[in-house]
Amino acid sequence: AEGTNKDKAASLKAFKGPFGKIHIYCSYVLMFMIVLHIFVVVRTEIQEGGSLITAMFTGKKILAKKPVDLE
């Protein structure tokens, strides 16, 4: 490429392989964790009757009973 120092690019080539693989694997783990998080949030929303996500948008959480720490 134009403006690239070929000697510096060649010296960095040894690092590109291992760090590239680590970068790819970390991105796969991150994507998996995002999908898992969304799945668990949706499952919790369904099981608890719509109080988790709804509370994030409205600021009000519907509780089944009075909280024990409410005085």
pLDDT per residue as tens digits for the range 7-61 = 888 888 888 888 989 999 999 999 999 999 999 999 988 887 777 888 888 888 8
Q: What angle do CA 49, 50, 56 make, to 5 degrees?
A: 150
Q: Examine the pLDDT at 69 and tell me if it is beyond 90.
A: no
- Backbone region of residue 49 per phi and psi (left: phi > 0; alpha: psi in -120 to 50; beta: other values): left
Q: Is the pTM of this model over 0.85?
A: no
